């Protein structure tokens, strides 16, 4: 898959003049609950509304030339929420399948999922597998949904798999490199995020892609996720394009 992504990228660089479009954008979709409470509605209505924002942004990012859009949908810490809310959120992939799949197909979007999916309820896994299967041949933007994902948990699973390589004699401890760790993370098929967006006014990472965001540019907005529109996404990208990335250099 790594080959596929990078071939894809080379092709688009050959024909694409939009060179400073971020290749990988990550979004912490936050503020669904507050969006609903502000309207006197239960929090879950906010999650239902927030789901509708996903296609709007994926379609727009695709047209812009973004290659990967990673959305934080459910964190490994979100199990701390009331069971009714957790149950509702984990039913959303089924709703997503029925209401959003035709639009994703029409826009050539390929859906992927990252996180500890094995610990999700079987109905969630089934919906997620179906969406991935149905969109697997699409070669437009990759919509990568982080479900039961935590940045630290990602590093732990990577360390476990790398340790097992050492144990089996497939590599030596002293030969371990940063690239080898990156290759064991859930994001191994993708470049690191260029741009991180967080909605709802919170200025924190909440355990999202800790390793991968070492050099990402951050953009925060007070807009709540259900209200997040293409104009906000465009603003984030335009701010990104004015940033000077130095990676420690001058
Ligand atoms: C983000 O919205 C969605 C998830 C974490 C699943 P929240 O549910 O966190 O909304 P607020 O932050 O409580 O408003
Ligand atoms: C982060 O939002 C997780 C997702 C958007 C899925 P939270 O709402 O869970 O983050 P905290 O609790 O405010 O840090
Ligand atoms: Mg929140």
Q: What percent of the chain has pLDDT over 70?
A: 92
Indicate whether 169 belongs to any domain: no
Q: Answer whether 207 contacts ligand 2 (Cβ < 6 A).
A: no
The pTM of the whole model exceeds 0.95: no
Indicate whether 79 belongs to any domain: yes
Predicted confidence (pLDDT) at residue 201 exceeds the cutoff of 50: yes
pLDDT in tens, 92-123: 999 999 999 999 999 999 999 999 999 999 99
Distances in Å between the Cα of 62 and the Cα atoms of 18, 107, 182 are 12, 8, 25
170 is in an annotated binding site: no
Indicate whether 213 belongs to any domain: yes
- Looking only at the bridges linking them, the beta strands covering 110-114 and 24-28 are unpaired
CATH number at residue 42: 3.40.1180.10
pLDDT band at 5 (very low <50, low <70, confident <90, very high): very low
Indicate whether 78 belongs to any domain: yes
The ligand 2 atom nearest the CA atom of 78 = 9
Question: HEC states along 72-118?
Answer: EEEECCHHHCCHHHHHHHHHHHHHHHHHHHHHHHHCCCEEEEECCHH
Among 114, 121, 61, smallest CA distance to 94 is for: 121
Indicate whether 31 belongs to any domain: yes
CB under 5 Å of ion ligand 3: residues: 30
Please count the structural domains in the chain: 1
Element (H, E) at 110: strand 110-114
pLDDT at 207: 98
The ligand 2 atom nearest the CA atom of 204 = 14
The four Cα atoms 187, 191, 195, 200 give a dihedral, to 10 degrees, of: -10
Indicate whether 54 belongs to any domain: yes
pLDDT at 76: 98
pLDDT in tens, 68-83: 999 999 999 999 999 9
Range of the domain at 109: 21-152+192-242
79 is in an annotated binding site: yes
Indicate whether 185 belongs to any domain: no
Give me ligand 3 centre to Cα 225, in Å: 10
Q: Please tell me the distance from the alpha carbon of residue 228 to that of residue 226, in angstroms, as a whole number.
A: 6
Q: Please tell me the distance from the alpha carbon of residue 239 to that of residue 246, in angstroms, as a whole number.
A: 16
pLDDT band at 19 (very low <50, low <70, confident <90, very high): low
pLDDT in tens, 117-175: 999 999 999 999 999 999 999 999 999 999 999 999 999 999 999 999 999 999 999 99
Length of the chain equals: 250
Predicted confidence (pLDDT) at residue 13 exceeds the cutoff of 70: no
pLDDT in tens, 212-241: 999 999 999 999 999 999 999 999 999 999
205 is in an annotated binding site: yes
Q: What percent of the chain has pLDDT over 90?
A: 92
Indicate whether 5 belongs to any domain: no
Catalytic residues: 30, 78
Predicted confidence (pLDDT) at residue 59 exceeds the cutoff of 90: yes
């Amino acid at each position: 898959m790594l080959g596929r992504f990078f071939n894809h990228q080379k092709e688009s660089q050959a024909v694409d003049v939009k060179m400073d479009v971020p290749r990988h954008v990550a979004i912490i979709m936050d503020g669904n609950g507050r969006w609903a409470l502000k309207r006197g509605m239960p929090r879950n209505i906010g999650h239902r509304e927030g789901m509708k924002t996903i296609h709007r942004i994926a379609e727009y990012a695709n047209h812009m030339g973004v290659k990967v859009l990673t959305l934080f949908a459910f964190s490994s810490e979100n199990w701390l929420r009331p069971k009714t809310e957790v149950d509702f959120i984990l039913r959303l992939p089924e709703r997503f399948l029925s209401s959003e799949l035709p639009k994703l197909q029409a826009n050539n979007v390929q859906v992927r999922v990252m996180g500890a999916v094995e610990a999700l309820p079987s109905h969630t896994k089934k919906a997620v597998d179906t969406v991935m299967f149905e969109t697997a041949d699409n070669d437009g933007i990759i919509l990568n949904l982080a479900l039961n994902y935590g940045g630290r948990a990602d590093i732990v699973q990577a360390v476990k798999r790398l340790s097992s390589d050492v144990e089996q004699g497939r590599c030596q401890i002293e030969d371990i490199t940063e690239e080898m760790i990156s290759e064991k993370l859930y994001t191994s098929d993708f470049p690191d995020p260029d741009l991180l967006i967080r909605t709802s006014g919170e200025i924190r990472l909440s355990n999202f892609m800790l390793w991968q965001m070492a050099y990402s540019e951050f953009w925060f907005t007070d807009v709540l996720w259900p209200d997040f529109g293409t104009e906000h996404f465009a603003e984030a990208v335009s701010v990104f394009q004015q940033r000077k990335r130095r990676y420690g250099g001058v």
